[in-house]
Each structure stands twice: as structure tokens, then as C-alpha cells.
């Protein structure tokens, strides 16, 4: 369901004879705090100017009643949609609405209900268009750094172990733990992947995820570096809760994977990080996840896939023992709330990791369905916080690390299948080859020079996960894009997240709201 934020406390609405607005008014009165139905199945009521006049009036009233929440944030939940550029947010909005039988364009997602909105610049110190390692370092450590580096400042050189010594950047994970707050990570990538690793590891190369003697081996160890997976299990104090994929970097080559004996670990140092080093509880399936007592004291490491977790569109067809992002994240929130009930709160990092991977493959169904699951997760967490009475004490921030070269358009008619062709009229048929025009395209990628004959175009099933949208330039994987990304914020000090900002300021603003790190003694902190 889609809801609009402009109806907060809108109880003084005058009933007017304006057709569809009677329905809106009823919902306004019944709505709780943040919620009102917004999706439409047809656009006939939009022909009447009074419809748009009322929409504008409600928007103005909401903004006039907006207040600033200056409480100290007890909890901070940071949602990262990897590769979730503004075009993905818009197309994801349409996809989510259409999955519910609506037109889609007017749908309002969970993140769009947040009270404040800004834009973040995603460049890094040495690249105009960045990657997840450098951008996540900016987001979690508050400093911009070089492409491919994790948890280091800009003086470190990519792939150079010696250059990393003395240039570690502390993260918001550390700032929170130093003051007794609990911390958690929930991702659908490998837990040693660039985004989550930037919060707990220090590595001049994002590909040093494990000791595999290919990317990382004896040379790097001799120079004083430690692979990322090992940094995670050796971290002291440990992270309270880590859920995601990537078992292969935690087990040696002679150990069969616990869920698929045809696969083996990739560590060549003969070390099992789980059996030999990890001191907490280890789980690998959904059944074990739900057996855990909420608030239990021992740290939890859950690795639910040998590699990256599956795309949501595949997982939902055959879930087996692999939990969804929303299942992992809602468990994490309940668990951390229980652990924090008698003391300080928590910081939780939640990433919809595979939005980016769908875009790299030029497979929009994978990317947008993972976006929908990411947005659903935000909504479910928000309702948990409401039910527990802690929503107003929790800062929620949603953003992306970078965009991708994903675009949509083609003059498509209202309600057109977002994965399909533009309306087959003169404006959406190519004047060059007289063939229909795809709504979704990529600036570059593996489906370069896609076939344009009628037989091929007629054979396309746009709704299949394997469908690849056409790309303008040839690359093995579609690249990232360099434009700014949206920042949505709600809760204590969310008004700090407005305007155009450097991506590196986001960690500082979250810390300011919670009185962590350099801001623990700012005015207003206990």
C-alpha cells in the first residue's frame, strides 16, 4: 500500500463537494500518524482541477504544521539501497504500485513518507563516479576516500597494504559501541562485501574479502593486513548481530558448504573462521533464526547463503531456508530493542544490496523487485517502532551509495507496464527502424546492440527475471552512474538532512542526532 506523509495530524479538513476528495477526507480522519492511501487504479478523477487543488491544499497544510524533532535519538536505523538512484526510486514506485493492481505513477512508497529529503554528492577523492567501497566509507566513517578502499581515509592507496597503516577511519559502529550502544548489520550481499565491511573493516582493497591466495594471501599478511572476513570475526567488541550471505569466505577449501556439499569454502589458509575464531552463535538458515531468543546476550552471525543471497524475485519462488531482507531486518529490530530496553539504544545498518546487482546485469525485474522488498522492509520496521512506542525516538535515514546507468521513459502511457514498450503510437515507434521503443534502457551494459527485428521483439517476455533491457554502449557489466542520490530522513534531527550535501556528512549528522563520536558533548546531550 502507498501512503502520503502530508496528512500528519490533518484532522481539521472541511468536507467539500469535490468527488474523490470525499474519500481522501475519510482516510485523513482515520489515518494514523503517517499513513493514508494514495494509489489509484484509474486517472479519471484527475481530469477535474479540483482534485489537484485539494492535493495542493493538503500538501501546504502538512508543511505548515511540520515541526522539528530535537530529541536525542535513542536508536538510529540506516537504510542503504545499493545502486538506488533517483530513477530507480521512481521506477520502483511504479513497479510497487503496479504489483498492487494500481497505475503506479501516483503511488507513494514507504521511504517517500519520511519528513525530510535531500540530495547527496557521491563522488570520491579520485573518481567522478564512485563505487560502493568509497561511498560506504563516506557514509559510515564520515570521510571521503579512494575508489575501492574500505574504512580508510583518502591517504590510502587502493591495493597497497603498506599505505593503509596509520590511515584507518573510525566508523559510526565504533562511535556507538564506545558509548554502550548495540549495533547490527543486515544485508542481502555477502557480509564481507564493500558496503557492510566499511563499517567494521579497514582494507585498501575491497576484493580482499577472504584469504583465497588470489586476491589476498601471504604477501598481504606479511605486510600487516588482514582479510575482511577475518576482521569481522576478530572484532572486539563484536558486532551484536550480523545477518547476510557469503559463507565461502569463512571456511577453508577442504570444508563442504553446510547447505550444499558440492560447494566448498574458498580460504586457502586452512582456517575456519566460524569454528576456530568466532566466539558467538552461528546460524545458517531461517529455522535457526527464529529459534533465537530475542535480546539474548551472545553475538549472532547468520550466513544464509554460500555467496550473495538470492534476488528476491527468485527467493520468493522457492524460499527454502533463506530469509528475506524484511524477515532478517524485522528480527534484528525486535532483537536489538529487547537488548536495549533497560539501557542505551542501538545502531542498525540495513542494506538492499542486490538492487545494484540487477542493474549491473541490465535485468530490471531483479533490480526493481529488490527495491520493492527494500521499501517493504522500511515500512515493516516503521510499524514495529510505532507499536513499541519508540518511533519518535528513532532516527531513520534512507539513501543510496551511488546510482546506476538505468533510465526509463519512451513517452509511455499512464499505467504502462514499467518493463515493457512505450505506447505503440507514432511518438513511441522509432522513426529509424519503425520498431517499438523500450521504456527501460541502460546507458551501457551487456545487452549492447540488442536485436531490433520484429521476431525478436515479439518474443520478449518483459516480466521474466532473465529479461535484459537494451544498453547503448558495450560493457560486460553496466556501470555505476555519477549523479546525486536522494536522502530521506525521519525522526530526531531529520531536518539536518535537507538540501544538497556531501555524502560524508551523513555519518556526522546521524552521530549528532544520537550524541555519538565527536558530538557526544554537544549542547543538548545528557
Is pLDDT above 70 for 147?
yes
What local confidence, expressed as pLDDT, does residue 15 receive? Answer: 26
Could you give the C-alpha distances from 432 to 327, 437, 438, 439, 447, in angstroms and in order? 48, 11, 14, 17, 20
Mean pLDDT of 104-118: 96
Q: Are 385 and 220 in contact (CB under 8 A)?
A: no
Mean pLDDT of 166-178: 98
Highest mean predicted confidence (pLDDT) among 121-125, 413-417, 446-450? 121-125
Which is higher by pLDDT, 28 or 243?
243
Q: What angle do CA 110, 330, 379 make, to 5 degrees?
A: 10
What local confidence, expressed as pLDDT, does residue 503 receive? Answer: 98
351 is in an annotated binding site: yes
Q: What is the pTM of this model?
A: 0.93
Q: Are 225 and 164 in contact (CB under 8 A)?
A: yes
195 is in an annotated binding site: yes
Q: Which residues are part of the catalytic machinery?
A: 132
Lowest-pLDDT choice from 47-61, 239-253, 265-279? 47-61
387 is in an annotated binding site: no
Encode pLDDT of 471-522 as tens digits: 999 999 999 999 999 999 999 999 999 999 999 999 999 999 999 999 999 9
What local confidence, expressed as pLDDT, does residue 427 receive? Answer: 61
**Among candidate residues 75, 61, 49, the one with its CA nearest the CA of residue 514:** 75
Encode pLDDT of 309-338 as tens digits: 999 999 999 998 999 999 999 999 999 999
Q: Helices 364-387 and 86-99: crossing angle, nearest 10°?
A: 80
CA atoms lying within 13 Å on the CB side of residue 181: 25
What local confidence, expressed as pLDDT, does residue 276 receive? Answer: 98
Domains and CATH numbers, the chain: 79-405+480-519 (3.40.720.10)
Confidence of residue 18 (pLDDT cuts 50, 70, 90): very low
Lowest-pLDDT choice from 22-36, 92-106, 173-187? 22-36
Is pLDDT above 80 for 263?
yes
402 is in an annotated binding site: yes
Mean pLDDT of 285-300: 97
Is pLDDT above 90 for 36?
no
360 is in an annotated binding site: yes
Amino acid at each position: 500500500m502507498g501512503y502520503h506523509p502530508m496528512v500528519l495530524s490533518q484532522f481539521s479538513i472541511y468536507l467539500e463537494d469535490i468527488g474523490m476528495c470525499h474519500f481522501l477526507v475519510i482516510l485523513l480522519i482515520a489515518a494514523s500518524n503517517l499513513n493514508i492511501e494514495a494509489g489509484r487504479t484509474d486517472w479519471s478523477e484527475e481530469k477535474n482541477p479540483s482534485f489537484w487543488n485539494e492535493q495542493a491544499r493538503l500538501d501546504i497544510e502538512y508543511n505548515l504544521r511540520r515541526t522539528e524533532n530535537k530529541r536525542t535519538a535513542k536508536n538510529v536505523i540506516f537504510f542503504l539501497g545499493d545502486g538506488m538512484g533517483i530513477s530507480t526510486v521512481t521506477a520502483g514506485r511504479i513497479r510497487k504500485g503496479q504489483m498492487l493492481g494500481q497505475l503506479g505513477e501516483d503511488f507513494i512508497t514507504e521511504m517517500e513518507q519520511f519528513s525530510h529529503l535531500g540530495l547527496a554528492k557521491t563522488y570520491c577523492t579520485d573518481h567522478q563516479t564512485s563505487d560502493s567501497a568509497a561511498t560506504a566509507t563516506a557514509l559510515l566513517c564520515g570521510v571521503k576516500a579512494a575508489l575501492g578502499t574500505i574504512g580508510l581515509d583518502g591517504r590510502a592507496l587502493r591495493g597497497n597494504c603498506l599505505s593503509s597503516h596509520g590511515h584507518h577511519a573510525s566508523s559510526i559502529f565504533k562511535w556507538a559501541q564506545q558509548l554502550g550502544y548495540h549495533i547490527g548489520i543486515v544485508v542481502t550481499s555477502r557480509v564481507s562485501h564493500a558496503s557492510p565491511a566499511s563499517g567494521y573493516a579497514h582494507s585498501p582493497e575491497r576484493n580482499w574479502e577472504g584469504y583465497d591466495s588470489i586476491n589476498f594471501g601471504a604477501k598481504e599478511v606479511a605486510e600487516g593486513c588482514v582479510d575482511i572476513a577475518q576482521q569481522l570475526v576478530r572484532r572486539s567488541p563484536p558486532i551484536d548481530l550480523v545477518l547476510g550471505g557469503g559463507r565461502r569466505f569463512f571456511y577453508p577449501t577442504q570444508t563442504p558448504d553446510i547447505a550444499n556439499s558440492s560447494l566448498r569454502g574458498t580460504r586457502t589458509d586452512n582456517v575456519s573462521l566460524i569454528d576456530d575464531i568466532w566466539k558467538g552463535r552461528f546460524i545458517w538458515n531461517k529455522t535457526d533464526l527464529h529459534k533465537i531468543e530475542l535480546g539474548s546476550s551472545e553475538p549472532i552471525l547468520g550466513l544464509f547463503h554460500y555467496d550473495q543471497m538470492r534476488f528476491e524475485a527468485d527467493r520468493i519462488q522457492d524460499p527454502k531456508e533463506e530469509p528475506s531482507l524484511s524477515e532478517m531486518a524485522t528480527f534484528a529490530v525486535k532483537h536489538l530493542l529487547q537488548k536495549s530496553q533497560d539501557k542505551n539504544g542501538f545502531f542498525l545498518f540495513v542494506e538492499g544490496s542486490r538492487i545494484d546487482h540487477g542493474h549491473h546485469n541490465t535485468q530490471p525485474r531483479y533490480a526493481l523487485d529488490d527495491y520493492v522488498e527494500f521499501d517493504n522492509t522500511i515500512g515493516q520496521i516503521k510499524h514495529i517502532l510505532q507499536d513499541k512506542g519508540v518511533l519518535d525516538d528513532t532516527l531513520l535515514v534512507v539513501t543510496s551509495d551511488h546510482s546506476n546507468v538505468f533510465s526509463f521513459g519512451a513517452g509511455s502511457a499512464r499505467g504502462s507496464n514499467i518493463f515493457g514498450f512505450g505506447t505503440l503510437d507514432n511518438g513511441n515507434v522509432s522513426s529509424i527502424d519503425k520498431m517499438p521503443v523500450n521504456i527501460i534502457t541502460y546507458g551501457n551494459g551487456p545487452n549492447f546492440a540488442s536485436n531490433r527485428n520484429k521476431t525478436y521483439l515479439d518474443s520478449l517476455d518483459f516480466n521474466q527475471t532473465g529479461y535484459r533491457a537494451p544498453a547503448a554502449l558495450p560493457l560486460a557489466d553496466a556501470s555505476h552512474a555519477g549523479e546525486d542520490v536522494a536522502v530521506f530522513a525521519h525522526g530526531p534531527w531529520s531536518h539536518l538532512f535537507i538540501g544538497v550535501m556531501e555524502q560524508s556528512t551523513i555519518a556526522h549528522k546521524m552521530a549528532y542526532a544520537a550524541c555519538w563520536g565527536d558530538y557526544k558533548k554537544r549542547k543538548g546531550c545528557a
